A and B are shown apart, each in its own frame.
Chain A
């Protein structure tokens, strides 16, 4: 097993830090958005954000699937969990997110049947072994996760399992990036594009953003040298006045992406307008089940009254997700909002910007 230690070489990392600082000195600094929550955490964890302080402003983007999921979805899940005939299957990250009244973790502590899964196929296995129950898979995530959910639903069709359902809030990355660059307040010099999502959608998916909007896009992996290399690449592009897509994660990402995965995703889901927590409604940025798969939609079987509410007062998650403000600018940060008692989604998810700032703040 390799591909880890080679990308953590301290001497090479320190050399890249020096070169980035030198380049930033020539270009008058840079504002770069790391789109992905895994990048946010890795940048802190490996000390890169700290090492580049004063030279490169790294802004955390909307790429944490938990953070951008609307509160009403949590409320819906909690109401569903209260029913005797329902088993909720969810990724671990979702269980701590507070809704308006409760969270899945609190529902779990009070004895509801909520199963933490690591693969959507586990939800299908639960449905198979508990045929008298309705198993509801909390379907969130980007182009990385959605194909696996789509495959699970196709498998359920093949196996004629009819007690598996989804509550669906899946999202797409390129449309929200396009929406973000419309915002004139956000002066970005480049996107550090998510390695995992790019492996699915392919490097070409960013062409429109780079060419039409003139914002350089560099795809990066998650090891220290990957991220430092990606940032250096973005600064070089800025210095040379070039706006193009550079794939700095070519050991994983191809130009065309994982066509099979995208095909499976498109077979089951189609794009729709979607609500991003804190950001608002973005056209064509969400996914809904295609007509022939809507029987999986739990909304069709169980009617739930859930009111779409504003975010918690005082919390500036929305501004943070848009990269306009930083967690420390929030009056709640570290005070009424902590990892033990989170108010906003950015503090809940282990990959949320506030959580990462709180955890790694020196």
Chain B
């Protein structure tokens, strides 16, 4: 056993996608399940089956509220899994869906959620081919949870660059950050802000395919979901053994998200996105990639936000508005609104 304190329990921080989640995954899951595929801890597992390279992933969705501006748990559950596959350079093919539903849940709502899953699957060009349903007492779950798993194929002809992440590479974000998390937070907490913030939840495989087929040398990609851009970049720096530098003034944030962040005391770099991709790309292809992204409906606000540095500190630096550099840490726990 590696947990020596008998009184330690799971808190919500363990599910926030930051330092505590990472520690939980390493200390318990990786420790018990350890194998070469899992230990890479990517957005999806890469599997070699016969002569084919496949990507395989799973994700659970426990969002509240179930329906929000810009989407619902159904659209989210399909897009989340499609995007995890797409950022590994895979073409998503098939999805499995598991439903855990609380007794008393409205059938009409369930139908609306299934409809929205089908629409997202159609848009992404994937099929939902298997599933499972469990019903539990209403005191255990008041609404519903969805788990989706997905499988995709890696096509080497239009896949990721064979060259690893190299100092000098350019970092691109496909659009404005923080919309999903901020939209959900405002709706969940019923904060009376007259807001126009819509979740960005979207399947990104079409946009990513366009960049790869456009001949851009993409070294790697990430979808900055839980923990936001800051956490995704820290994981990337750690995994690739490099330092990264991004510029505060180049990070696209909508006026609405920026204003709500100031009111609540949040940093948009730590807020979840569900329809954005980070690209690390050959600097010579950066402008081409930006042009391709901006032509796509989900990439209109794409921006170069920084670059890969020499150095093996596994750190992310932020050049601030005042010109000073500071380290951009990964999320420790979910952000909470400040008192005043």
Which residues of A are at the interface with B, using a C-beta cutoff of 8 A? Answer: 1-5, 8-10, 13-14, 16-17, 37-38, 41, 44-48, 50-51, 65-66, 91-96, 105-106, 109-110, 116, 118-119, 140-142, 144-145, 196-197, 222, 224, 228, 339-340, 350-351, 359-362
Contact = CB atoms under 8 A, between A and B. Distances in A.
Interface string B215-258: 00000000000000000000000000000000011000001101
B333 A339 contact: yes
A48 B325 CA distance: 10
Nearest to B253: A4
B297 interface: no
A38 B326 contact: no
Contacts of A2: 255
Nearest to B269: A45
Bin chain B's interface residue count: 35 or more
Contact of B265 (A16, A46, A119, A351): A351
A360 B258 CA distance: 20
B337 A91 contact: yes
Interface in B291-340: 317-327, 329, 332-333, 335-340
A64 to B, nearest CB: 8
Interface of B: 9-13, 19-20, 189, 191, 248-249, 255-256, 258-259, 262, 264-265, 267, 317-327, 329, 332-333, 335-340
A145 B265 CA distance: 15
Nearest 3 pairs between A and B by C-beta?
A47-B320, A92-B336, A47-B324
14 contacts: A1-B256, A8-B249, A45-B267, A48-B322, A51-B320, A65-B339, A91-B339, A92-B336, A92-B337, A109-B9, A109-B11, A142-B340, A222-B262, A224-B321
Contact of B259 (A1, A65, A66): A1
Contacts of B13: 105, 340
A1 B327 CA distance: 30
A93 B322 contact: no
Given A105-B11, A109-B11, A362-B327, A144 B320 contact: no
A51 B324 contact: yes
Contacts of A350: 265, 335-336, 338
A163 to B, nearest CB: 21
Contacts of A142: 340
Nearest to A224: B321
B337 A118 contact: yes
B339 A361 contact: no
A357 B330 CA distance: 14
B319 to A, nearest CB: 8
Contact of A359 (B189, B248, B329, B339): B329
Nearest to A225: B321
Contact of B262 (A4, A46, A224, A340): A4
Contacts of B326: 44, 47, 50, 360, 362
Given A1-B259, A109-B11, A13 B333 contact: no
Contacts of B327: 360-362
B323 A17 contact: yes
Contacts of B339: 65-66, 91, 93-94, 140-141, 144-145
B16 to A, nearest CB: 11
Contact of A47 (B262, B264, B325, B333): B325
B327 to A, nearest CB: 5
A94 B340 CA distance: 12
Contacts of A362: 317, 325-327
A13 B10 contact: no
Contacts of B248: 46-47
A197 B340 contact: yes
Contacts of A14: 322-323
A339 B336 contact: no
B11 A106 contact: yes
A351 B338 contact: yes
Contacts of B336: 92-93, 95-96, 116, 350
Contacts of B255: 1-2, 4-5
B332 A340 contact: yes
B321 A93 contact: no
B31 to A, nearest CB: 19
A65 B340 contact: yes
Contacts of A46: 248, 320-322
Contact of B323 (A13, A44, A118, A140): A13
Question: In the complex, which of the residues A45, A65, A91 has the most CB atoms of chain B within 10 Å of its own CB atom?
Answer: A45
A17 B320 contact: no
Nearest to B9: A109
A196 B338 CA distance: 12
Nearest to A142: B340
Contact of B340 (A47, A145, A228, A340): A145
